[in-house]
Amino acid sequence: MMTGIRGKNTRPELLIRKCLHGRGFRYRLHDKRLPGKPDVVLPRYRAVIMIHGCFWHGHDCHLFKWPSSNEIFWREKITKNIAVDELAVNLLHDQHWRILKIWECALKGKQRWPLELLVDEIVYWLKNGNATCEIKGVICNYRR
């Protein structure tokens, strides 16, 4: 079962990359020279985008629930993932990279963002944003 879990080129990652490319952005993928090998690297904007699965990175949202079987293993694994993420973010900040975290709950589930609105937010952050930004699921009453 675990062999089917991918660490890169996940559906949320592919969706974000496709949308960014469609808006004219060019990027690198999983740059090994950077801490944490960010999912998307935009050197022109000195920005990286990390697309996190809520389960694997222990996000406190409706998509995350601690597994009831093999609890010790999962708590250690997810806690370690959170620590590795934090270290990577600190090292990227030290190297003056801007960081955007996009959580899976922003892309799927009952609290997902409308895709166009999400991409607009990403583009705005790339062009005008702060050093750090996080996009997570919210309840939107958005209608076209």
Q: Structural domain boundaries of the chain?
A: 9-135
State how far the Cα of 31 lies from the Cα of 39, in Å rounded to an integer. Answer: 8
Identify the pLDDT of residue 8: 74
Tell the burial category of 83 from Cβ atoms under 10 Å away from its Cβ (0-12, 13-18, 19+): exposed
State how far the Cα of 4 lies from the Cα of 2, in Å rounded to an integer. Answer: 5
0.85 cut: is pTM over it?
yes
Identify the pLDDT of residue 39: 95
Instruction: Kindly indicate the confidence band of residue 129, based on its pLDDT and cuts at 50, 70 and 90.
Output: confident
Query: Measuring CA to CA, how many Å separate 85 from each of 10, 37, 134?
Result: 18, 10, 13
Phi and psi at residue 125, to the nearest 5°: -60, -45
Instruction: Look at 138 and 81; give whichever has higher pLDDT.
Output: 81
Q: Which CATH number, 3.40.960.10, 3.40.640.10, 3.50.50.60, 3.30.70.1450, labels domain 9-135?
A: 3.40.960.10
Residue-wise pLDDT for 3-19, tens only, equals: 555 667 788 999 999 99
Residue-wise pLDDT for 92-112, tens only, equals: 999 999 999 999 999 998 889
